[in-house]
Amino acid sequence: MQVQFNTRIILPSVYRSEKDGKPKAYLSTTVFSPQKYNLTPTAGVMPVEQIQAVLEQCADNAQEVEIQFVEQQTKFGTQMQIFQC
């Protein structure tokens, strides 16, 4: 089975909070019309922690980043599972 990734340049945004005394970061981006997508770093080409750190840094510095992702619909809306950035 072969998986094909989509590629897109995005401008991520980050919302930070604490849950049970642990810091938590929620990532998202707005694309096209505008439509908001939740971003989920997923193990693949890069480690999850590295993807998370790159997206958070780009969000903090208002920098665009190119990602490779798969799109899926969840109960919380459309989500991009990111495998590389």
Is the pLDDT score of 2 beyond 60?
no
User: Does residue 3 carry a pLDDT above 70?
Assistant: no
State residue 37's pLDDT score. 86
Are 55 and 65 contacting, i.e. CB atoms less than 8 angstroms apart? Answer: yes
> Where are the domains positioned within the chain?
1-5+27-85
Over residues 64-84, the pLDDT tens digits come to 999 999 888 888 888 989 988
Distance CA 10, CA 14 (A): 13
Residue 4 exposed, middle or buried by CB count within 10 Å (0-12, 13-18, 19+): exposed
Q: pLDDT tens digits, residue range 22-49?
A: 999 999 988 776 778 889 999 888 899 9
